[in-house]
């Protein structure tokens, strides 16, 4: 199975800090009993990154206490780039 990194998630969320925070939150949710949104036989942290890279988990509007405005990169379609 291919490796996944934070860089793979940057196409969906344009902030490394936010990606890491989202991933940590998902791992905590798994441990509370939430089921993963993608099928994976990897550890929780890798599964959470796979969810973010697949666009299954998106950031909230903002994290005020961290001063983050949650910039999300819109998906490009072939029609939009033509």
Predicted confidence (pLDDT) per residue in 45-79, tens digit: 999 999 999 989 888 765 555 455 555 666 666 66
d(CA 71, CA 19): 11
CATH of segment(s) 6-81: 3.90.940.10
Query: pTM higher than 0.85, yes or no?
Result: no
Q: For residue 7, name the pLDDT band (cuts at 50, 70, 90).
A: confident
% of the chain exceeding 90 in pLDDT: 37
Q: Specify burial of residue 82 (Cβ count, 10 A radius: 0-12, 13-18, 19+).
A: exposed
pLDDT at 2: 62
Beta bridge partners of 63: 68
- HSE-up of residue 75 (Cα within 13 Å, Cβ side): 7
Give the CA distances from residue 14 to residues 26, 29, 41, 43, 72, in Å, rounded to whole numbers and listed in that order: 18, 23, 27, 24, 6
pLDDT at 48: 93
């Amino acid at each position: 199975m291919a490796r996944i990194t934070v860089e793979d998630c940057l196409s969906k969320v344009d902030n490394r800090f936010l990606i890491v925070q989202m991933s940590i939150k998902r791992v905590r949710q798994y441990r509370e009993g939430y089921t993963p949104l993608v099928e994976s036989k990897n550890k929780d942290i890798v599964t959470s990154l796979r969810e973010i890279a697949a666009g299954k988990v998106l950031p909230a509007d903002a994290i005020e206490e961290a001063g983050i405005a949650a910039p999300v990169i819109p998906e490009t379609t072939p029609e939009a780039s033509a």
